Structure 1
Amino acid sequence: MTEDKKKSPKILTGLKKLPWGMIIAWTVTFVIAIGIFVFLRNFVASMEMIALPGMAVVDSPEEAPAEDGAPAPKPETSAPESDLPEPWDGASRVNILFLGLDARDLDLDAPRSDTMILFTIDPASKTAGMISVPRDMWVDIPEGFGYGKINTAYALGEQYDLPGGGPALAMKTIEKFLGVPVHYYAQVDFHAFEEAIDAMGGLYMCVDQKIRIDPIGPKRSEPFEKGCAIRHGYQVLAYARDRKTMKGGDVTRAEHQQEVIMALRDQVLSPENFPDMVKIAPKVYQEASKGLRTNLSFEDALKLGALATQIDPSQIKRGVINYKMGTLDRSPDGLSIMKPIPDQIRILRDEIFTSAGALSPQAVGTPVELMQAQASRVNVLNGAYGIVEATELAARTQVYFTSQGMNVVGIGSADKSYDHTTVVLHNADLYTLRYILDLVGASSNYQVVFRFDPAAGADISIMLGNDWALNNPMP
């Protein structure tokens, strides 16, 4: 990549600031917008990927589908009673399925998925990856539907009103096809994505080849010029959806989508752009959330946003299931399909999800042991006030935290008075964060503040409040 491609111009605007927590939450939801993966950098720490269980990608016998590649269902659904996922523990590998809906189906009650990208992030090794699945892949759709094109799984879940709807059935289908668990999903329609790009002033992208794009709606086809430039939302969307002007078809389109993902990441993380990204976050969030649907809780989105900030671009693995991993064929009713070559897909899956296999295990060790292993630098600052228990609270707390194995590098007075203890992350580790929040009994997201500052001299600053002064385990 040339030096010019590494530089992105500032995107200027004057919108009102959001709190840091909402900015990070927006970061997660915005990337979600088109099967796009998280793009911030530098807040959390420590990771390591492990092995995929030897689950093979299932081969595809021919089975007659119904109209448009969607197989006729069999009456044996066993979807869970609730589609709410277990809260993320903040330390184990997490996989998120990004879904973009087919623009041709947006007026239907049960649209198909046009984009399916499975994103994985591992808090133990500070690595991430994404794998794109072609929409014509011929797979076994769970819940008794049999074989059909993978993009019909979402539509079937919606059409038959299964628990969790289309997203839940799409997640199960990907799980069965790739042999890895899918913990969360994020789905957005294309119009919301286009409007969100425009709300952030366009997207700075560099492409190596000029192509002709065909935007959705009344706009005429136009060239998408080679080189680096700020592109409008409709242009970015058309580029991400194009599969007719390139020889690679769906495979090339998937590659384009991953290029958009990385361009989004670079633009938001660029030091000269980040202050302006903060200012426009409210408008972008408003536009992106119009068509957003996800089972991520705000708390988990917050933690994922913090974790994703620590992933270096070199540690993001990218893969597309291409024509070497499947054979082009026709379904029994004449639709174009791709039949998987299981061994080839399994190789790609293992490369993307880890160097040695599938899922990282749950973090091993007690909260205290994990905190000690991370050795995060911690400042303890006294923000308690008006009570006798606040006297020398920082010094007494330092002695206690040090006895627990915490790496306390400094004590002092907080910037203001605090009723509730607040944890400020400068460049922190999740294990240490979890230990501190449990110890101080934090019960609100407002007790965690993200304030990225590599020069802070500490990874975490703890602003001790009256709650800690009056109720703590110190002798």
Structure 2
Amino acid sequence: MARSQQHSKKKKPWKWAILGAVVAVVAVVGFFIYQGVGVYNGLEGISKPKEESRFGQFEEVEAEKPPEWEGTERVNILIMGGDNRGLKKSETARSDSMMVLSVDPVTKKAHVFSVLRDTYVEIEGHGEGRINTALALGGPNLAMKTIGNLLGLDVQYYLYTDFEGFKSLIDAIGGIQNFEVEKNMNYVDNADGNRYDIHLKKGIQDLDGTTALQYVRFRHDAMSDFTRTERQRKLLNAVADKMKNGWNLLKMKKIVDSIQPYMESNIEVSDMMKLAQLGVKTHIAGQAQVPPMELIGDKKAGGASVLAVSDESELLQFVQDELTKDVTTPDPAVAGGTNSGDGTNSTVNGTSSTSGNTANGSK
């Protein structure tokens, strides 16, 4: 009897070890289920029904509906930022920041195009106007159609955020570390009790949501929106790198929950999941300003100067040429030369000295 009890006691540590392992596995699985359900619900909240949408006043026009993404062809996402301060419920802000993220799911290469907000274009059904007014005139579908026409790309999706959504995203991913602010930036903004004043010092520093917003908003220098769009692309690179961090993948529920109230998109959850899987495997191969400096012409509209496209066919070719470039590969024209691939070496006009692996540049 004593031997039997002694034998049983010897087994107990193993039993507890096995039980502990089972509990640990269940806890881990439960965590990921919790994260998955939370992320799913949060993402579902970004795609808002018409009655909850800030764009609900716009009627859907068949000719403006974006094409469906099948999953194998190039996908283009219009990222828009707007200032919603002082707007009534039925009013929509202009899209003062516009970037198109173009991803080839075959090559896993992404390209970013910043669109200058004062570019003067044809806005379907509204005549000519500044491209950033398309959102206010007809909602996201018209904005996607107008910017897609400018670039010669089919834009399937949009993502819109205001100031607070941008700040929440940066804070949720833990900020951006060791980021170079290339100059002192100061601007007093009295539009909302100085809540969005800009005061940044030159140098390497960590950015939280507030200071990152200051960085991407600043345009009060000689090159105005030209250098601002370059800064926006630079920060987008840093955000993309940070989002691929394993710890941020684990915090995805928290990230989605923090941005959901401020963001809006037409991306359904199923497509968001596919895009997220694609994004982890994708690298930013190039970035450019549209239109580039060499294709900007002077034009007057209502007595004000606007940015005209000097040659539309050359602009379409410019976009296709950019899609073939990859700044992360060595330039064969420079013996022994390599590029860092962090995107910070792009010039104001978006050109680069790197060569290209041929990407799928079609619509």
TM-score scaled to structure 1, two decimals? 0.53
| Alpha-carbon offset, residue 296 of structure 1 | 0.8
| Alpha-carbon offset, residue 175 of structure 1 | 2.1
- Does residue 196 in structure 1 map to residue 212 in structure 2? no
Q: How does 1:459-470 map to 2 (within 5 A)?
A: none
Corresponding residue to 1:152 among 114, 133, 154? 133
- Does residue 112 in structure 1 map to residue 94 in structure 2? yes
Q: Give the match for residue 260 of structure 1.
A: 235
Any conservation in 2 of the 1:197–1:284 contact (CA below 8 Å)? no
> Do the aligned partners of residues 25 and 302 (structure 1) sit closer, same or farther apart at CA in structure 2, a change above 3 Å counting?
farther
Q: How does 1:259-338 map to 2 (within 5 A)?
A: 259-270=234-245, 274-275=246-247, 277-313=248-284, 316-321=285-290, 322-331=292-301, 333-338=302-307
Can you give the 5+ residue segments of structure 2 that lack an aligned partner in the other structure? 1-30, 48-58, 325-357
Any conservation in 2 of the 1:24–1:306 contact (CA below 8 Å)? no
Any conservation in 1 of the 2:44–2:269 contact (CA below 8 Å)? no
Amino acid at match of 1:324: E
Any conservation in 2 of the 1:84–1:295 contact (CA below 8 Å)? no
Percent sequence identity is 29
Amino acid at match of 2:274: K
| Alpha-carbon offset, residue 184 of structure 1 | 1.2
Q: Give the match for residue 359 of structure 1.
A: 362
> Do the aligned partners of residues 278 and 339 (structure 1) sit closer, same or farther apart at CA in structure 2, a change above 3 Å counting?
same
Amino acid at match of 2:267: L
> Do the aligned partners of residues 359 and 222 (structure 1) sit closer, same or farther apart at CA in structure 2, a change above 3 Å counting?
closer
Any conservation in 1 of the 2:81–2:160 contact (CA below 8 Å)? yes
- The 2-side partners of 1:200 and 1:125 are apart by 27
Matched position secondary structure for 2:112:
strand
Q: Give the match for residue 124 of structure 1.
A: 106
- The 2-side partners of 1:282 and 1:328 are apart by 47
> Do the aligned partners of residues 22 and 195 (structure 1) sit closer, same or farther apart at CA in structure 2, a change above 3 Å counting?
same
Q: Give the match for residue 171 of structure 1.
A: 144
Matched position secondary structure for 1:207:
strand
Amino acid at match of 2:319: R
- The 2-side partners of 1:278 and 1:106 are apart by 35
Matched position secondary structure for 2:293:
coil
- Does residue 341 in structure 1 map to residue 310 in structure 2? yes
Amino acid at match of 1:80: E
- The 2-side partners of 1:198 and 1:82 are apart by 35
Q: Give the match for residue 98 of structure 1.
A: 79
Any conservation in 1 of the 2:36–2:253 contact (CA below 8 Å)? no
Q: Give the match for residue 230 of structure 1.
A: 206
> Do the aligned partners of residues 20 and 283 (structure 1) sit closer, same or farther apart at CA in structure 2, a change above 3 Å counting?
closer
Corresponding residue to 2:121 among 139, 153, 163? 139
Q: Give the match for residue 180 of structure 2.
A: 207
> Do the aligned partners of residues 281 and 252 (structure 1) sit closer, same or farther apart at CA in structure 2, a change above 3 Å counting?
same
- The 2-side partners of 1:253 and 1:96 are apart by 20
RMSD of aligned Cα (Å)? 3.2
> Do the aligned partners of residues 193 and 118 (structure 1) sit closer, same or farther apart at CA in structure 2, a change above 3 Å counting?
same
| Alpha-carbon offset, residue 104 of structure 1 | 5.2
Matched position secondary structure for 1:248:
coil
> Do the aligned partners of residues 269 and 28 (structure 1) sit closer, same or farther apart at CA in structure 2, a change above 3 Å counting?
farther
Any conservation in 2 of the 1:94–1:120 contact (CA below 8 Å)? yes
Any conservation in 2 of the 1:25–1:305 contact (CA below 8 Å)? no
Any conservation in 1 of the 2:67–2:155 contact (CA below 8 Å)? no
Matched position secondary structure for 1:151:
helix
Any conservation in 2 of the 1:136–1:151 contact (CA below 8 Å)? yes
| Alpha-carbon offset, residue 238 of structure 1 | 1.5
Structure with greater helix percent: 2
Corresponding residue to 1:79 among 61, 70, 94? 61
| Alpha-carbon offset, residue 138 of structure 1 | 0.3
Q: Kindly indicate whether structure 1 or structure 2 has the higher relative contact order, using CA contacts under 8 Å at least 6 residues apart.
A: 1
Any conservation in 2 of the 1:243–1:252 contact (CA below 8 Å)? yes
> Do the aligned partners of residues 126 and 195 (structure 1) sit closer, same or farther apart at CA in structure 2, a change above 3 Å counting?
closer
Any conservation in 2 of the 1:85–1:295 contact (CA below 8 Å)? no
CA deviation vs aligned residue, 1:70-111 (integer Å, no higher than 9, x gap): xxxxxxx9921895753x322221111111113556556121
> Do the aligned partners of residues 25 and 139 (structure 1) sit closer, same or farther apart at CA in structure 2, a change above 3 Å counting?
farther
Can you give the 5+ residue segments of structure 1 that lack an aligned partner in the other structure? 1-15, 33-76, 158-165, 361-475
- The 1-side partners of 2:161 and 2:274 are apart by 21
- The 1-side partners of 2:309 and 2:83 are apart by 22
- The 1-side partners of 2:116 and 2:45 are apart by 23
Corresponding residue to 1:240 among 206, 213, 216? 216
Any conservation in 2 of the 1:188–1:291 contact (CA below 8 Å)? yes
Bigger Cα displacement from structure 2, 199-208 vs 229-238: 199-208
- The 2-side partners of 1:181 and 1:222 are apart by 36
**Number of residue equivalences:** 282
> Do the aligned partners of residues 29 and 134 (structure 1) sit closer, same or farther apart at CA in structure 2, a change above 3 Å counting?
farther
Any conservation in 1 of the 2:43–2:260 contact (CA below 8 Å)? no
Any conservation in 2 of the 1:106–1:189 contact (CA below 8 Å)? no
Matched position secondary structure for 1:348:
helix
Q: Give the match for residue 35 of structure 2.
A: 19
Any conservation in 2 of the 1:205–1:260 contact (CA below 8 Å)? no
CA deviation vs aligned residue, 1:400-432 (integer Å, no higher than 9, x gap): xxxxxxxxxxxxxxxxxxxxxxxxxxxxxxxxx
Any conservation in 1 of the 2:76–2:103 contact (CA below 8 Å)? yes
- The 1-side partners of 2:94 and 2:74 are apart by 28
Matched position secondary structure for 1:185:
strand
CA deviation vs aligned residue, 1:360-413 (integer Å, no higher than 9, x gap): 6xxxxxxxxxxxxxxxxxxxxxxxxxxxxxxxxxxxxxxxxxxxxxxxxxxxxx
Any conservation in 2 of the 1:140–1:148 contact (CA below 8 Å)? yes
